[in-house]
Amino acid sequence: MSNTLPNPVQQKNIERFRNKIPSNAKENIGIYILPNGSVAVQATSPGKVPGSKAVYEKQIDVNGKTIQYTKTTYDPQDEIVHVKDKINIRTYP
Amino acid sequence: MMNSRKQVLHTLVTFEKPLELIAKELSRFEWDYEGEPVIIEPIHVVSVLNRFLSGDFNAKQVEDWANLIECREDLDYNESNQEQMEQVIYELANPELEGRLTIERCNGIFFVLSLPHKSNQDYTKKLGLVLEEILSHYRMSGVLVNPS
């Protein structure tokens, strides 16, 4: 298994991620390989309020299972408004 | 008895129970899902917004509802209105980005969801019934007046 590219089951999960994120985030996707073989995939959705944005991030383990999914919302000053945990259904702060 | 994933998802899209209960039930299921999805239809959004307009829900509850729906792999839209529905759920789930929920925004969403979609007779029939009910309600409450 390559440690520089997502493996096939991770790729499949990334494709599901891509299908479900907002349309204005589909062109702003970054994929990062984590040290344990997991993958983090991030997509940024710019808001209508100038400077605001939401970053959708999914972490996928080496077996292709989603282990974390968050949406982080930033205000125009680039300060975090809140982080929404999609899996555990919690909002921080 | 535990409800199935589809039963819980139906409760979610129709907002039939308090969100805390729905969230607790949803958390029993894994995020990853490749089976047959439950479809969110315009009628679900229209119903929730009507309950917001009538004071049953506040803007935060609608935002939280849309956030439970947004990005879920076990929910989907009909192809005929996918673009509009995706955009509406995104707007409702992200008031910091798109602006807070107001009567004017509800009006805009109703307009978007009323636009002609790809041919879908069932959808058109359902929308007609919803609109008839809404118009009837407002006519009775005196909000709508005849042009004469």
Between A17-21, A64-68, B22-26, B79-83, the lowest mean confidence (pLDDT) is in B79-83
| pLDDT score, position A2 | 45
CB contact under 8 A, B87 and A21: no
Whether the pLDDT of residue B1 is over 70: the answer is no
CA distance A21 to B51: 27
pLDDT score for B119: 57
* B2 φ/ψ angles, rounded to the nearest 5 degrees: -70, 140
Nearest to A49 among B72, B87, B97 (CB): B97
- Record: contact B87-A89, CB cut-off 8 A: no
pLDDT bin (cut points 50, 70, 90) of residue B120 is low
Give me the helices (H) in B2-146, please.
Answer: 5-14, 19-26, 42-53, 59-69, 82-93, 95-98, 103-114, 121-140
Q: How is chain A split into domains, by residue range?
A: 6-90
Ranges of each domain in chain B: 5-140
Residues of A within an 8 Å Cβ radius of B = 13, 16, 20-23, 45-49, 52-54, 56, 64-66, 69, 71, 73, 75, 81, 84, 86-89
Q: pLDDT tens digits for B123-148?
A: 677 777 888 888 888 777 776 655 55
**Chain A residues closer than 8 Å to B18 by CB:** none
Nearest Cα neighbor of B34 from B86, B81, B72 is B72
What are the tens digits of pLDDT across the range A8-65?
999 999 999 999 999 999 999 999 999 899 999 999 999 999 999 999 999 999 999 9
Partner-chain contact B32 A13, CB within 8 Å: yes
Residues in A closer than 8 angstroms to B98, CB to CB, are 47-49
Tell which wins on pLDDT, A1 or B98.
B98
- B58, with CB counted inside 10 A (0-12, 13-18, 19+), is exposed
Q: What distance in Å separates the CA atoms of residue B55 and residue B51, rounded to the nearest whole number? A: 6
Task: Give the pLDDT band of residue B15 (cuts 50, 70, 90).
Answer: very high
Per-residue pLDDT, averaged over B16-30, amounts to 95
Model confidence at B117, pLDDT cuts 50, 70, 90, reads low
Q: How far is CA B28 from CA B5, B16, B24, B123, in A?
A: 9, 18, 7, 32
